[in-house]
Amino acid sequence: MLVFFAQAQDEVEYPLAVQEAGLMSYMANLAWLNNPANDNFFQEEVIAKEKVKIAKRGWWRDIGLRINANEFSFASDSIKQPSGIKEVNPKAAGNLFYPKYNFSAVFNLGAIFDTPNKKKIAQRKVIMAESLTQQAKKDIRGQIIQMYQEYLTTIEILKLRYKSESDMKSSYDLINQLYQSGDKRVGFKDVLESSLALNNAVESRIKANKMMTIAKMKLEDFIGVKLEAVEAKFKRK
């Protein structure tokens, strides 16, 4: 699964968080691609790489070409002289030692020599941007593993709470039945204690169900899709 963004005439690959197969990797990739904040890491890499290109061409900005036209080049071809004196062409008379046009090139040697260093700095910033991206991917995978394990743990706790509630219900029904039948082994205090134990079991089951729901919603919010859809898709594979 690859996502491509058009940039100028180049195609830029938006990488996944994890290349390995498996449910954890699948959810890590969903979280990576569906979280808008993660795009910042990708854009930082693209910007850093573009800065490398700019650094390579930077010395061209400090090269200039100048063209100066001699003022005699714009004078008229001849100047009126008093009668009896031959007209003189100023380009011939006044421009004897200067060319019509002056060409010069300007080089900033400091900038030219600094270009390799600027290029190295830009390349290291690319490495830094890529490192931050890789760390962010690792963090996401770690969060996915933790969140999914917490979700599975709440499911197991909920199962235990249901079992405990069922046992307390059976115990209460038995004690209450014995009490109603007049069994001397069971008193009203036993009925009250059994009822309290059942209520506590029901309360624990409700809290466990709440914990499971919250854990599931957090995970779904992180990956951007319903957990049932993810698990079903992965099981079909």
- Answer yes or no: is 97 within a domain: yes
**Structure confidence at residue 176 as a pLDDT band (50, 70, 90):** very high
Average pLDDT over the chain reads 75
- Answer yes or no: is 8 within a domain: no
184: pLDDT strictly greater than 80: yes
1-40 pLDDT per residue, tens: 333 333 333 333 445 555 667 788 888 888 888 887 777 7
Q: What token pair was written down for 8?
A: 């100028």
Residue of higher predicted confidence among 220 and 83: 220
76: pLDDT strictly greater than 60: no
CA distance 2 to 4: 7
164: pLDDT strictly greater than 70: yes
CATH number at residue 174: 1.20.1600.10
Q: What is the pLDDT of residue 23?
A: 84
Q: What is the pLDDT of residue 115?
A: 65
- Answer yes or no: is 7 within a domain: no
The domain total for the chain is 1
**Structure confidence at residue 161 as a pLDDT band (50, 70, 90):** very high
154: pLDDT strictly greater than 80: yes
- Answer yes or no: is 51 within a domain: yes
**Structure confidence at residue 58 as a pLDDT band (50, 70, 90):** low
**Structure confidence at residue 204 as a pLDDT band (50, 70, 90):** very high
112-143 pLDDT per residue, tens: 545 677 777 778 888 888 888 888 888 888 89
- Answer yes or no: is 225 within a domain: yes
- Answer yes or no: is 80 within a domain: yes
Q: What is the pLDDT of residue 4?
A: 31
- Full residue range of the structural domain in which residue 142 is found: 17-236
Q: Which long-range contacts (CB under 8 A, 24 or more apart) does 48-51 make?
A: 48/122, 48/125, 48/126, 48/128, 48/129, 49/126, 51/122, 51/125, 51/126
Say what the pTM is: 0.62
| Ramachandran sector of residue 103 (left: φ over 0; alpha: ψ -120 to 50; beta: rest) | beta
- Answer yes or no: is 231 within a domain: yes
- Answer yes or no: is 9 within a domain: no
Average pLDDT over residues 196-203: 96
